[in-house]
Amino acid sequence: MKKIVYVVFITAVIGLAVNLLGNRTSQDTGLAKEIDSLLEKGETQIDLTGLTNFKWTQVSVFGPYTANEAIEDSMSIKFKGDNGGIDRLDDRFLLVFANDKYAVKTVVLSRKPGTYTIKDNKFLVVDR
């Protein structure tokens, strides 16, 4: 009987850990540096498909003070993980990549180059 309780307890702990930690997005600082470099060279339209090395089906960009719930509603996804402080800071935009129902990567973008939009679910466009 003790063994069964132990197995049930371990299974419950693993299930809880997977639920809390699974499908969490992480910030991609390497991609942020690549985008910054292209912006410094004067690029105004960046093809994100050539810069990414992970699987994604949609991408959106969000401005300052955007709450995680607004990201979820806008993209119809679950968003858990690193939002780069976008919900409380006004000096950045957040690029969010999602694969099916979950966010997979985020990229913090400086507001200095201008305002960002996404074109054709593929291009990051900067309006200087």
109 within some domain: yes
The verdict on residue 38 lying in a domain is: yes
**Dihedral over Cα of 36, 38, 43, 48: its sign:** negative
pLDDT, position 128? 85
Which amino acid is it at 101?
A: K
Flag whether 68 is in a domain. yes
Kindly state whether residue 63 falls inside one of the protein's structural domains: yes
Examine residue 11 and state whether it is found in any structural domain, yes or no. Answer: no
| pLDDT (0 to 100) of residue 1 | 73
* Structural domain that includes position 116: 24-127
With respect to residue 1, please indicate whether it lies within any of the assigned structural domains: no
Any alpha helices (H) in the chain, and if so which ranges? Answer: 2-21, 29-40, 68-75
Q: Which helix (H) or strand (E) holds 47?
A: strand 45-47
State which residues of the chain have pLDDT below 50: 17-18, 20-21
Q: Give me the amino acid identity at 11.
A: T
Is the separation of the CB atoms in 78 and 72 below 8 Å?
yes
Q: Is 5 helix (H, G, I), strand (E, B) or coil?
A: helix
Minimal CA–CA distance to 36: which of 107, 104, 121, 96? Answer: 107
Query: Is residue 44 a part of any domain in this protein?
Result: yes
pTM for the complete prediction? Answer: 0.84
**3-state class (DSSP) for residue 106:** strand
- Whether 49 is in a domain gets the answer yes
Count of structural domains within the chain: 1
Token readout for 123 is: 């291009």
